[in-house]
Copies of this chain bind each other. A is one copy, B any other.
Amino acid sequence: MKLTDKPITNFLDELASNAPAPGGGSVASLGGALGAALVSMVCNLTLGKKGYEDVQGDIEDLLVQAEALRAELTGLLEEDVKAYTGYSVAAKLPRTTDEEKAARAEAMQAALQVATDVPLQIAEAAVKVMDLCMPAAEKGNKWAVSDAGVAVLMAEAALRSAALNVLINLGSLKDLEFAAERRARLESLLAGKGVMRDEIYDYVVSKL
């Protein structure tokens, strides 16, 4: 059964338990999906509404993007748990002979690379959700402006949460070129996003 098919209370129970997955990575992707869903909500409350005739095309575009990101982030929630499982399986491989030790180390490194790339994808998608929030706040139904504000708060929290889950793995990666490339991508994703969050939040507050 997929995690996202479970009732919210059950997901929260599993999260709170001593099982290492689902954990922070799953919450990062869920946070991003919640942000995307709120952008969609703002769009759906704007489409066909009187007074918003001029922005219908823009809002339709925003909705398509938000829904694609919601689907991507919901999928990444499952991928994050699979990535953790992949690493656990590799760590439990036999390690008696030198050959076994080498094979286990290689499998663990491969699993670590996946466990780095999944939260990096979550971070990339979360940034794309953030990019939709100001247009949603400015062009969307003014009665839903606070929902665009909540969207950016959740998406930025998702970005930073995903960042923590990338950073956990970077230090254990033996392929230093791979690690450096991922770190550079992460830093580029994080740059300026705290300021962007505050700007959108302040804009929303000014409209309340």
A-side residues, CB < 8 A to B, are: 3-9, 11-13, 15-18, 20, 23-24, 27-28, 30-31, 33-34, 36-38, 40-41, 44-45, 47, 66-67, 70, 74, 143-144, 146-147, 149-151, 153-154, 156-157, 160-161, 164-165, 167-168, 170-171, 201, 204-205, 208
Contact = CB atoms under 8 A, between A and B. Distances in A.
A16 B31 contact: no
B160 A146 contact: no
A23 B147 contact: yes
Contacts of A33: 12
A33 B34 CA distance: 14
The complex is assembled from copies of this chain, and their number is 2
Chain A interface SS verdict (over half): helix
Nearest to A146: B164
B8 A37 contact: no
A19 B107 CA distance: 47
A157 B168 contact: no
Contacts of A3: 8
Given A8-B5, A16-B40, A74-B12, A153 B161 contact: yes
A170 B151 CA distance: 21
A110 B15 CA distance: 37
A68 to B, nearest CB: 12
Given A30-B34, A150-B164, A208-B164, A23 B8 contact: no
A70 B31 CA distance: 16
Nearest to A150: B24
Contacts of A44: 16-18
A168 B36 CA distance: 21
